Amino acid sequence: MRNIKIIIEYDGKDFNGWQKQPKKLNIQGEIERAISEITGEEIELIASGRTDAGVHAIAQSANFKTNSNIPIEKIPIAINTKLKQSIRIKSAEEVDERFHSRYNCKQKTYRYIINNGKTASALYRNMEYFVPEKLDVENMKKAIKYFEGEHDFKGFKASGTSSKSSVREIYKTSIEKNEDRIIIELTGNGFLYNMVRIIVGTLVDVGLGKIKPEEIPEIINSGDRTRAGKTLPPQGLYLVKVEYK
Amino acid sequence: MRNIKIIIEYDGKDFNGWQKQPKKLNIQGEIERAISEITGEEIELIASGRTDAGVHAIAQSANFKTNSNIPIEKIPIAINTKLKQSIRIKSAEEVDERFHSRYNCKQKTYRYIINNGKTASALYRNMEYFVPEKLDVENMKKAIKYFEGEHDFKGFKASGTSSKSSVREIYKTSIEKNEDRIIIELTGNGFLYNMVRIIVGTLVDVGLGKIKPEEIPEIINSGDRTRAGKTLPPQGLYLVKVEYK
């Protein structure tokens, strides 16, 4: 069987997240249906990981197996004709039959966009999080550096979620200010449930002066969810890149 | 009476254009209703001009008269609480009682965004126009220069529209390429109905090689709508700035 890897952009606003579930519009289900319509097969689409309701993807990665002999370069266009415009397959490539979008993932990059202007934006309201109080970006830049490296992020995951281990490594972080927008990026070997949204929520508390940058290591080490910031809303979050070994 | 000028951002996708009309959601009607709710008065809101269904505004300008004594700095927040999030009042200022948003307008700037990448965007599908064929931007840059200056734009307005005169002056034009996006801006003393969308449609024909840049003066002079390009869809168009004497 052929193993096809696809890169997907989607507008999270229109869906109840990635994962297939009955009666709720979801991205996985929509794409599986579209591929089934063009191949005539039942399709199982494996993504690098789920994204929550409202979270966007610039380049989610997923793979599926098929016996169809449709040429690889025709696959994105063919699938796109069967999809809503809020999901677009950007490219497709043939990969080794053992390739698995989730197990083989080496690192992921997430972006979070904060609008720190005077007024919320009408045009970008579903694509960013609005903070009217002026944030101290220099302090946020100091604070984010403490998240780099391997840490137990027990205090930075949604309560009640069970993962075997909450140790993750963050390879790279960045914060850029572009006029009113603050753009935060995190690259790591994996992220716990809500972890990016809680880290950025904590950075917002730093920007507001509620937490000092130097307090971050202690907050991470405490493993105490209540000491980290709040979980920011999903519409500011983007899965930007998924990289493989 | 106080005369209040407001600057408005809106997402055109959600409305049947600026102009008030019964039974169809429109921007003017929504804002008049919101202001009436906070002032208790009947309000007439005068904009710099209408925008069509689907056309966005970064900074539309409008004014209204009121006897309310609500402090000027509170006005944007007060109106915004009564509006959908797809309309935001960005600022308000007190102006001379004779100020009129349309009559006193000196110049307007419009922007049109073309996505010239390989795939349409899921995230920006309502904020740009997708052209899959590779456009020759250098030729488009040559062509747009011919639109500068005072011309009779008879061939660049929607057929059937009657304006006293179709002579307009374009003061400034620009085309920038930013990765896959082509961003076109036009500043002029006024624009006929659909004029920007027809000019950009003609520039797309230049980019596709259907029209040579040097043919533009002849096409303008002919006054023949059929020689200009097609009217591009509204979702790529933004009213960016309105300036006054």
Does A53 share its domain with A132? no
Residues of chain B with C-beta less than 8 angstroms from the C-beta of A76? 119
Q: Are residues A119 and A239 in the same domain?
A: yes
Q: Which residues of A touch B122 (CB under 8 A)?
A: 9-11, 85-88
Q: Write out the residue range of the structural domain in which residue A188 sits.
A: 107-243
Q: What is the pLDDT confidence band of residue A159, given thresholds at 50, 70 and 90?
A: confident
Strands A105-115 and A237-244: antiparallel
**How far apart are the CA of A8 and the nearest CA of chain B, in angstroms?**
9
Q: Are residues B216 and B125 in the same domain?
A: yes
- Written as six digits, the tokens of A50 are 């789920």
Query: Is A11 within a domain?
Result: yes
CB pairs under 8 A between A and B: 60
Helices marked H in chain B — which ranges? 27-39, 75-81, 137-145, 195-207, 216-222
Closest CA to A159 of A205, A112, A191, A194: A194
Q: How confident is the model at residue A154 (pLDDT cuts 50, 70, 90)?
A: very high
Q: Which residues of chain B have pLDDT under 50?
A: none
Choose, from B11, B14, B52, B136, the residue flagged as catalytic: B52
Q: How far is CA A12 from the centre of its chain?
A: 10
The amino acid that residue B159 corresponds to is S
Contact A90 B125 (CB under 8 A): no
**A7 is a domain residue:** yes
Name the residue facing A9 among B80, B90, B121 (closest C-beta): B121
The pLDDT of residue A30 = 98
- A120 contacts on B by Cβ (under 8 Å): 80, 85, 88
Q: Residue B46 forms beta bridges with which residues? A: B63
**pLDDT for the residue A245:** 84
Give the pLDDT confidence score for residue B164 in this predicted structure. 83
In this complex, the residue of A86, A118, A122 whose CB is nearest that of residue B85 is A122
Looking at the structure, tell me whether residues B164 and B222 fall in a common domain.
yes
B205: closest CA of chain A, how far (Å): 24
Going along B132-189, which residue ranges are E strands? 149-152, 167-178, 181-188
- Closest chain B residue to A89 measured between Cα atoms? B119
Active-site residue (options: A14, A52, A136, A180): A52
Q: A105-119 pLDDT, tens per residue?
A: 999 999 999 999 999
We report the CATH number of the domain holding residue A56 as: 3.30.70.580
Whether residues A119 and A85 fall in one domain: no
Q: Which of B88, B89, B119 sits opposite A121 (nearest CB)?
A: B88
**A90 and A175 part of one domain:** no
Q: Could you read off the pLDDT of A57-91 as tens digits, one per residue?
A: 999 999 999 999 999 999 999 999 999 999 999 99
Query: Residue B154: helix, strand or coil by DSSP?
Result: helix
Q: Are A123 and B90 within 8 A, CB to CB?
A: no
Is residue B100 assigned to a domain? no
Q: Say how far apart CA A119 and CA B88 lie, in whole Å.
A: 7
Mean pLDDT of A122-127: 97
Contacts of B10 in chain A (CB under 8 A): 122-123
| A11 vs B contacts (CB less than 8 Å) | 122-123, 125
Q: Residues for chain A: how many in total?
A: 245
Say whether both A60 and A112 belong to one domain.
no
Calculate how close chain A gets to B66, using CA atoms only, in Å: 23
A52: annotated active-site residue: yes
Q: Is A115 inside a domain boundary?
A: yes
Residue A82 lies in a domain: yes
Q: What is the C-alpha separation between B139 and B129, in angstroms, rounded?
A: 19
Query: In this predicted structure, what is the pLDDT of residue A164?
Result: 83
The model's pTM: 0.94
User: Mean of the per-residue pLDDT values for chain A?
Assistant: 96
Which of B75, B95, B115 is the C-terminal boundary of a domain? B95
The reported pLDDT for the residue numbered B159 is 76
Amino acid at B244: Y
Looking at the domain assignment, is residue B163 inside a domain? yes
- Whether residue A162 is predicted with pLDDT greater than 80 in this model: the reply is no
**Domain end point (choices B95, B116, B133):** B95
Identify whether residues B150 and B71 lie together within a single domain: no
Q: What is the pLDDT of residue A216?
A: 98
Pair A88, A111 in one domain: no
Is there a single domain that holds both residue B187 and residue B239?
A: yes
| Model ipTM over 0.85 | yes
Q: Which of A56, A76, A122 sits opposite B88 (nearest CB)?
A: A122
- How far, in whole angstroms, is CA A228 from its chain's centroid? 20
Looking at residue A160, what is its pLDDT?
A: 72
Residue B196, domain CATH: 3.30.70.660
Q: How many domains does chain A have?
A: 2
Q: Which residue of A has its CA nearest to B122?
A: A86
A205-223 burial, b for 16+ CB within 10 Å, e for fewer? bbbbeebebebbeebbeee
Q: Which residues of A116-146 are buried (b: 16+ CB within 10 A; e: fewer)?
A: bbebbbbbbbbbbbbbeeebebebbbbbbeb
CA torsion through residues B123, B124, B129, B132, sign? negative
Kindly state whether residue B192 falls inside one of the protein's structural domains.
Answer: yes
Residue that terminates a domain, selected from B42, B72, B95: B95
What element of type H or E holds B5?
A: strand B2-10
Asked if the Cβ–Cβ distance from A10 to B58 is below 8 Å, we say no
Condensed to tens digits (0 to 9), the pLDDT of residues A217-242 reads 999 999 999 999 999 999 999 999 99
Residues of B within 8 A of A9 (CB-CB) are: 119, 121-123
Q: Are residues A119 and A55 in the same domain?
A: no
Confidence at residue B104, expressed as pLDDT on a 0 to 100 scale: 97
- Nearest-CB residue to B85 (from A9, A80, A125): A125
Task: Evaluate whether residue B101 is within a structural domain.
Answer: no
pLDDT of residue B149: 98
Residues A80 and A131 in one domain: no
Are residues A202 and A211 in contact, defined by beta-carbon separation less than 8 angstroms? Answer: yes
